[in-house]
A and B are shown apart, each in its own frame.
Chain A
Amino acid sequence: MFIETRVLGKKSRPLDGWSAPTPPADADDGGDGLTLRGLIERVVRAEVRAFEQRERTRRFVRVLAEREISAAAARGKVDPGGRAATGHVDEDGAVGAALQGFEDGLYLVVLDGVEQRDLERRVFVTDRSRLVFLRLTFLAGA
């Protein structure tokens, strides 16, 4: 499954697209797929874990060889690690915020070109599926 993020009205993407393993069908799904709620939850949990993994990596102090320093400098940034810990990420809180954001209409979910509007609706994801999170903007006019 390929995941990408978009912002309404902008060509550039806030995040590069990434591939994620297709969620395995739960035993209790009975082969009926999973709900949109479940799909969002899995994506968010996977991203939180990926974030924590990256954060752990950045905390580790790296000893760089001269060649690595030169290569990093050529890219614009030499990162020896040793970052301070950002603290534990509340995975359940992140899932709650994502689902709340969907209910508030802050973003749309488009799966294989079809907008998904109901969190409880079953969705069917394959290895070739394309999942788009489209961020919308607040309407300020009264």
Chain B
Amino acid sequence: MDNDRIREELAARRRPGAVLQRIGGLKQVASILTGGGIPGPLCALVEEAFAAPEHSRGYLVAQKRGDVGDKLAGLRDADWKRAGSTLLPQLAHSVASASKALAMRPYQDGLTRKPFRCPRSPATLADVRGRWLLRMTILLGDYDADIRWVAEHAAHLAGWWGSTDIGWLLAGALNLGDDTARDGHDILVATVLGEHPTGQMGRHVTQAFMSCESASGWEYVEKLLLSAQRQEGLRQVVLERVDEAHPMAFRRMLRLILEENLSRFSSVVRAADTWFGFQWDGSSGVALEPLLRRVLLFLEDPAARAAALQESDAETVYLALWSTAFDDVDAAIEPASALLAAPSVEIRFVATHFLVQSLWSSALRRLVHVIADPDLRVAARALDIFGADLEGSVDGARLFHNLEELIARVPKRGATLDRCAGMAVVEAEAPAYRGRVGARRQRIGGRFRATPPLHTRPRSARARLLPSTHRRSGTEVGQGHDHA
């Protein structure tokens, strides 16, 4: 079917204003009065999203990271179910199922996300669920369509930002295990094979199969990966979603890569690089297999993981921390924090590197002290997280004091930092900025705020502290809150 006809079909199914009618209708008002309906905070978020211009609604939801979690943390399972039934009534079963599956979704997103999970943080889980439900409502709420129709038209509905989220919805549908699930599976398979008249291959397919609980879905993607041959793009599409896959699907994928020697493909190396956050130099050969074997061991054997934290090899220690956070970031923060006092610079560096990547609120507090680390590389890595204003999340006075001391330690004309722990990430992420560690003082609201401008040079052979004015946005940090 050509795209014009599909657009017409989409337009015919669309009832603009349907979502607002549902949440503002008499039935909803009556439900609120009797204690039912959509919870007030969620209702307000939906109204705010739909009040924005259509093209900026997705962006608006993205900007509400953390805020959504704070507002919806008190919602019970029944509240979520009711919200799904009201916002997306024809997809209610799949939405409820996907909402459960989202407990397995890593709490970070974006290009630099790491597959860390936070099963003990209701606020972060509410944030993940809430933003997903908002995005689904924006994308699908006004369509008069069931889950089969969504599966058939997902590529056309997703736009440039919705394919992953629709993939999670379809994963929820697959988890139902009923006729809907079987139909959804068949539609997605036909889409991959190019045999469906409407369906188009996209990330929603791989996300759905990899995030569902069904081993047959995982197996299908594995076969897809093995049959990719010269299609590096397909391999990339599959692998770049694997970190968001069901945790068991990720473990299976690591085994498959090892068994089939898939690390010979550059897309596999690149994907592993993003999963683990090494930022390898693309020109250098990477021995991926020993690394994957260690990760697989640590993911499957908690005792081996705990023992690895005592190792002298920094990379092994880092992988043990990473593997711990893969299932529960809270369980990894304390061990990583303890390693910040290790006599080995490499161990302190990888612990800092891990804490920075965790983007976890309790890690932020520890990183304030790391800025005072005697080794500049460790201090510079810790400083990466403080490009945004985090005064509200940490001891601002201590942060400012440590920044000033760091400024005094950096040579006036800047300093070139060597590699640390064999990680290219030092070169990639060591902040290079002016004013030495460049804390700029700004009088805002009667208080001092330290805003070190950052400048990164990925893939450079060495990092140098240099003038720059780049700043990170606040959304890149503090993506999750600990349960405390």
Q: Is the CB of B234 within 8 A of A100?
A: no
Q: Does B264 contact A (CB under 8 A)?
A: yes
Q: Does A137 contact B (CB under 8 A)?
A: yes
Minimal beta-carbon separation of B223 from chain A (angstroms): 15
Residues of A contacting B261 in the complex (Cβ-Cβ under 8 angstroms): 100
Who on chain B is nearest to A97 by CB? B264
Minimal beta-carbon separation of B203 from chain A (angstroms): 8
Q: Does A15 contact B (CB under 8 A)?
A: no
Q: Is the CB of B264 within 8 A of A100?
A: yes
Residues of B contacting A: mostly: helix
Q: Does B237 contact A (CB under 8 A)?
A: yes
By a beta-carbon cutoff of 8 Å, the part of chain B in contact with chain A is 229-234, 236-237, 261, 264
A141 to B235, CA, bound (A): 10
Q: Does A61 contact B (CB under 8 A)?
A: no
Q: Is the CB of A138 within 8 A of B232?
A: yes
Who on chain B is nearest to A138 by CB? B232
By a beta-carbon cutoff of 8 Å, the part of chain A in contact with chain B is 100, 104-106, 136-142
Minimal beta-carbon separation of A61 from chain B (angstroms): 33
Q: Is the CB of B237 within 8 A of A105?
A: no
Q: Is the CB of B229 within 8 A of A141?
A: no
User: What 5 pairs between A and B have smallest CB-CB spacing?
Assistant: A105-B229, A142-B233, A138-B232, A141-B233, A142-B237
Who on chain B is nearest to A141 by CB? B233
Q: Is the CB of B229 within 8 A of A104?
A: yes
Residues of A contacting B229 in the complex (Cβ-Cβ under 8 angstroms): 104-105
Q: Is the CB of B233 within 8 A of A137?
A: no
Contact check: which of A100, A137, A142 meets B230 at CB < 8 Å? A137
Q: Is the CB of A139 within 8 A of B264?
A: no
Most chain A beta carbons < 10 A, residue from B229, B234, B237: B229
Who on chain B is nearest to A101 by CB? B264
Residues of A contacting B: mostly: loop
Q: Is the CB of B230 within 8 A of A136?
A: yes
Who on chain B is nearest to A106 by CB? B230
A82 to B207, CA, bound (A): 57
Given contacts A106-B230, A138-B230, A139-B234, 20 further A-B contacts (CB under 8 A): A100-B261, A104-B229, A104-B230, A105-B229, A105-B230, A136-B230, A137-B230, A138-B231, A138-B232, A139-B230, A139-B231, A139-B232, A139-B233, A140-B232, A140-B233, A140-B236, A141-B233, A142-B233, A142-B234, A142-B237
Residues of A contacting B236 in the complex (Cβ-Cβ under 8 angstroms): 140, 142
Minimal beta-carbon separation of B92 from chain A (angstroms): 32
A85 to B233, CA, bound (A): 39
Minimal beta-carbon separation of B102 from chain A (angstroms): 25
A142 to B264, CA, bound (A): 19
A137 to B261, CA, bound (A): 20
Residues of B contacting A136 in the complex (Cβ-Cβ under 8 angstroms): 230
Minimal beta-carbon separation of B200 from chain A (angstroms): 12
A32 to B261, CA, bound (A): 33
Residues of A contacting B234 in the complex (Cβ-Cβ under 8 angstroms): 139, 142
Most chain A beta carbons < 10 A, residue from B230, B231, B233, B236: B230
A13 to B236, CA, bound (A): 30
Residues of A contacting B264 in the complex (Cβ-Cβ under 8 angstroms): 100
